[in-house]
Amino acid sequence: MKVTEKDVKYIAQLSRLAVPQAELEIFTEQFNQILNYAEIMKKIDTTGIEPTPYVLPISNAFREDIVKPGVSHEAALQNAPAVEKDGFKVPRVIE
């Protein structure tokens, strides 16, 4: 399976990234290098093997539902690149 520059652009779009033209060729090459290497996984038959998303057998971690103070508006907005009134300001979403 070979990933093309067009595929890389599509994946970038899904990732909310742009690939600068200067990087497109090298990115595509590195992508294929890694995916070619991934072919070794085919050597193992994993039929019926449970996947391991987490190593420890923890399921729901419950705690008491106690009201605690949250983050203040002031603190939440402290690192915002742009603020208007009491909110985060972004460029127009709907024309």
Partner 1 sequence: MKLYELTAHELHKKLVKKEISSVELTNALYKRIYEVEDKVNAYVTLDKEVALVQAAKVDKKLAAGEAIPTLAGIPGAIKDNISTLGLRTTCSSKILSNFVPIYDAHVIKKLRTDETIFLGKTNMDEFAMGSTTESSFFGATRNPWNLNRVPGGSSGGSAAAIAAGEAIWTLGSDTGGSIRQPAAFNGCVGIKPTYGRVSRFGCVAFASSLDQIGPITKDVTDAAIVLNTICGKDEQDATSLNVEVPDFTKALVPDVKGLRIGLPKEYFGAGIDQKVKAEIEKAVKKYQELGAEIVEISLPHTEYAVITYYIIAPAEASANLARFDGVRYGYRNMEATSTPEMVTLSRTEGFGAEVRRRIMLGTYVLSSGYYDAYYNKAMQIRTLIRRDFEEAFQKCDVILTPTSPVVAYPLDGKMDPLQIYMLDVTTIPVNMAGLPGISIPCGFADGMPVGMQLIGKILDEATILRAAYTFEQATEYHKVFAPLGGNNK
Among 6, 25, 33, 73, binds partner 1 (CB under 8 A): 33
The single residue listed with the structure tokens 């002031």 is 74
Show the tokens assigned to 88.
Answer: 């985060």
Closest contact distance (angstroms) between CB of 65 and partner 1 is: 12
- Residues within window 54-83 making contact with partner 1, judged by CB under 8 A: 54-56, 58, 61, 63, 71, 75-76, 78-82
Question: Could you identify the residue written with the tokens 């599509």?
Answer: 10
Is 66 exposed, middle or buried (CB count within 10 Å of its CB: 0-12, 13-18, 19+)?
A: exposed
Cα Rg, the chain, nearest whole Å: 23
Which residues would be at the binding site for partner 1 (CB under 8 A)?
3, 8, 11-12, 14-20, 23, 27, 30-31, 33-34, 37-38, 40-41, 44, 46, 49-56, 58, 61, 63, 71, 75-76, 78-82, 88, 90-93
